[in-house]
Amino acid sequence: MSFEQLLNSLVFELYFPEEIKSAGKEILKHLGDLKPITDEMNEEKKQAIIHSEFERFYDPNHTVRFAIETLDSVEEVRIIKTALK
């Protein structure tokens, strides 16, 4: 899973909210518990948070990773991805 895949998946969810929801592939609702990054943090702390959040989402059992990896099961997504190849 890459950052680009996450962003693309979120765009699909914004354009096809009902289809994504009915397929159980929602991602946005699972991003509400992200650890915050503030301006007061040094770069090392910011990088540590980004790394830890990536590791959390990259876990094969995490809902976000599963949704991204199986998003092609939504017909609208599959059609668009096929057309872009």
Per-residue model confidence (pLDDT) at position 65: 92
Cβ burial of 8 (10 Å; 0-12, 13-18, 19+) is middle
What's the domain count of the chain? 1
Residues 6+ apart with CB under 8 A from 14: 28
Which residues span the domain enclosing 44? 3-83
**pLDDT 10s digits, 5-24:** 889 999 999 999 999 999 99
pTM value? Answer: 0.79
Confidence of residue 32 (pLDDT cuts 50, 70, 90): confident
Q: Is the pLDDT of residue 31 over 80?
A: yes
